Amino acid sequence: MTKVRRFMEAGLERTFLACALLSIASVALMTVFIFRQGLPLFAKVSLPDFLLSTDWFPSRDPNPGYGILSFIVGSVFVTVMSLAISVPVGISTGIFLAEMAGRRFGPFLRAAVELLAGIPSVIYGLFGIAVIVPLVRMIPGGNGYSALSSSIVLAIMVLPTIINMTEVSVRSVPNELREGSLALGATRWQTISGVLVPAARSGIVTGVVLGMGRALGETMAVLLVGGNAPIMPAGPLSMVRTLTMNVITDMAYAEGTHLTALFATAIVLFVFILALNVFIQVALKRAVKESTR
């Protein structure tokens, strides 16, 4: 091997390494930039005033309000409601795919789930406006643009994440467990509910948390169906504004402290998402440990 060639090989290896570091560098840069833009807010507004006040009125001339409690509550409320729908349905479908689907129906359902994951959020928003909002207006009442409509749309959107994680983790439960349970005389369902699901617990929880992250971070679909009123949601039929909606709504024209407050809102969202990520990493590590035990 000539020297030139060896030099080239080493150079390329460095390039590969640099590319591999791109993701982590992006995350780091993202953190730095968002925090640098958002943190100056706290020179003007105290942290409790920001996080624990429901008074959001940046355009009020003397003493504008920068409280985002309503949006934090809105985000959490909508996410929890959407999980209440998607977790039972998603886990069941995942179990179905892993254990009960036949050779014909299984691939068909799997393709459907994949497609569901690929539909853009703006299409979910369009569907939400055209079908779910009128439906909510008609059946439970209210004007339709509500936390409930947002939750239903989000529930459909996070379904594929939960289904996939459940299927993968139930499938990866060692066969001996399955066979052992059946050999002891347990029925198929007893095996699933008593052995497989508990064994796959960590993976399923990871799926739910991933779905939670997706629901928290979703913007367009909820923006179209949530009503976007900057108020504390009073119930499922009340209009709602989430953290993401708050960031995107005013971004076009906000300036000064208002703009800083939007970035500070993004920090809150970012921290939520990072916390969920840490949780997932820990849960996955536990899952690996469990499966190797």
Partner 1 sequence: MKRKIRAGERVSVGFVWLSAAFTIATLFLILGYILWNGFFYSNNVEYSVTSDATRELDGTLVIVNPRNPIRELPFDALRGLYSDEFSSWKKPAGFDADSYPYVDDATSPRLAGLLGLEAQGELVEFPGDAAAAAESVAGNDGGIAIVDAKAFGALDPALIERVRVVPTRSVALGVNPSVVEIRDNRRIGTVHETAIGDLYAGKISNWKELDGSDLPVTVIVPPPGSALRSLADRAGFDHDRANGHANQSGSLKFIEPATMDEYYLSLAGTRGAVGLVEASRANGIDIAPVKLSRRETGRNLTLSFLLEAPKDSGKIGGISTIILNTFAMILLTLIFSIPPGLFAAIYLVEYAREGRLVRLIRLGTETLAGIPSIIFGLFGMLVFVQGLGWGISLLSGSLTVTLMILPTIVRTAEEALKAVPGSLQEGSLALGATKVQTVFRVVLPAAFPAIASGVILAIGRALGETAALIYTMGSNYNLTGGLFDSTRTLAVHVYLIIAEGISSDRAFASGAVLVFFILAINGTARFVINRMGRMARG
As given in the structure block, the two tokens for residue 32 are 């730095």
Comparing CA positions, the residue from 154, 156, 152, 149 lying closest to residue 238 is: 149
CA distance 142 to 149: 11
- The answer to whether the beta carbons of residues 200 and 173 sit under 8 Å apart is yes
Residue of 177, 220, 231, 232 interacting with partner 1 (CB under 8 A) = 220
Residue of 54, 127, 201, 257 interacting with partner 1 (CB under 8 A) = 127
Residue of 73, 126, 231, 232 interacting with partner 1 (CB under 8 A) = 126
Residues 231-260 that bind partner 1 (CB under 8 A): 244, 247-248, 251-252
Comparing CA positions, the residue from 25, 55, 47 lying closest to residue 267 is: 47
Residues 192-211 that bind partner 1 (CB under 8 A): 193, 210
Q: Is 22 in the site for partner 1 (CB under 8 A)?
A: yes
Size of the site for partner 1 (CB under 8 A): 86
Strand-pair partners of 57: 65
Residues 63-122 that bind partner 1 (CB under 8 A): 88-90, 92-93, 95-97, 100-101, 108-109, 111-116, 118-122
Residue with Cβ nearer partner 1 (214 or 241): 214
The 10 Å Cβ neighbour count of residue 117 is 15
Strand-pair partners of 56: 66
Residues whose CB falls within 8 Å of the CB of residue 235, separated by 6 or more in sequence, listed in order: 147
Residue of 8, 139, 282, 288 interacting with partner 1 (CB under 8 A) = 8
Region binding partner 1 by CB under 8 A among candidate stretches 41-49, 64-72, 124-132, 197-205: 124-132
Helix (H, G, I), strand (E, B), or coil: what is residue 57? strand
Q: Is 13 in the site for partner 1 (CB under 8 A)?
A: yes
Residue with Cβ nearer partner 1 (62 or 102): 102
State the greatest distance between any 2 C-alpha atoms of the chain, in Å, as a whole number.
78
Comparing CA positions, the residue from 204, 210, 206, 184 lying closest to residue 97 is: 204
Closest CB 105 distance from partner 1, rounded Å:
8
Residues 152-191 that bind partner 1 (CB under 8 A): 156, 159, 163, 187, 189-190
Residue with Cβ nearer partner 1 (8 or 184): 8
Closest CB 196 distance from partner 1, rounded Å:
12
Residue with Cβ nearer partner 1 (27 or 234): 27
Helical ranges in 57-120 per DSSP H: 69-95, 105-118
